[in-house]
Structure 1
């Protein structure tokens, strides 16, 4: 005759499985009703440099003045950050003719945020940019919509107007 251990009898195994199932159900119910422990705030993956950004080099300023016909380039955040104004002075109207064309589409690209901004078109005013024949020594501007603020002050941006590219400007 074979002796059975008291823990291996069918009645004991059934009772232990019922207890185990009840403990699992009770633990799941308690886990759902209890609020989750607050998580610590996730640190931002973007790190800001402690160094001040450097504006255009003298070589870049000379290049844009000689080859593109513009100087005094600036990009500023205006209207509480909802608009970004790109302004420039024309030195050679023939070289800078793309900036005055109505058909040339203008974009502003943020290098860090990868946001592409366009010039807004108002119903009664039209596009928020100056177009027409350019005059030497005259300052011109164009405004880009920055709704939601994807581009912040201090970020490097590129301006594209048709085939004209102006790279590495810093938003002030």
Structure 2
């Protein structure tokens, strides 16, 4: 490919002019404040200034199809997640309908977790020195209500939040904290 000398000179002049114009544009930009320079570049300035808006929709209880699924899947119903009066503990309770299916929920080898959908906090059951884990375990009986308590130190999970409870292979998703 042969380019004439004039074509090369005009291409070089155009590239230099573009480079100089971009340098002048950057130099003419107003300097950022020290606070803005320390902020991460990935988040725009206006996103940091806006407060978090809460949803105008009120949370609802577990839908009927979900209740039927949990009853058939885990052998439990009446799933309730409540904060204690102090807010430092969250109680998850359930009623056993089918003891054979719900047997895995009471096993001591299955470690339960409560995961907040908003805060992404993963809570565990506290272990007391003389008492042990704050949960009921053993062979479940039909019609009996069982519970387990999760530590909510620092209050990452608040009333009205949605949480997922994971116990071994069981997942109870989207439960509302009362």
Q: Do both proteins adopt the same fold according to a TM-score greater than 0.5, normalized to the shorter chain?
A: yes
Matches within 5 A, 1:133-144: 133-144=139-150
- Tell which structure's C-alpha radius of gyration is larger: 1
Deviations 1:77-100 (A, max 9, x none): 004110000000000011111111
User: Which structure has the highest helix share of the two?
Assistant: 2
Partner in structure 1 of residue 16 of structure 2: none
TM-score scaled by length of structure 1: 0.73
Q: Pick from 141, 149, 166 the counterpart of residue 155 of structure 2.
A: 149
Q: Pick from 110, 114, 137 the counterpart of residue 108 of structure 1.
A: 114
Q: Pick from 92, 97, 104 the counterpart of residue 98 of structure 2.
A: 92
TM-score scaled by length of structure 2: 0.71
- Segments of 5+ residues of structure 1 without an aligned counterpart are 1-41
Shift of 1:43: 4.6
How many positions carry a matched residue from both structures? 131
Shift of 1:66: 1.5
Distance 2:70 2:113 in 1: 18
Let me know the Cα RMSD of the aligned residues.
Answer: 1.3
After the TM superposition, which parts of structure 1 deviate over 4 Å for at least 4 consecutive aligned residues?
Answer: none
Distance 2:141 2:68 in 1: 19
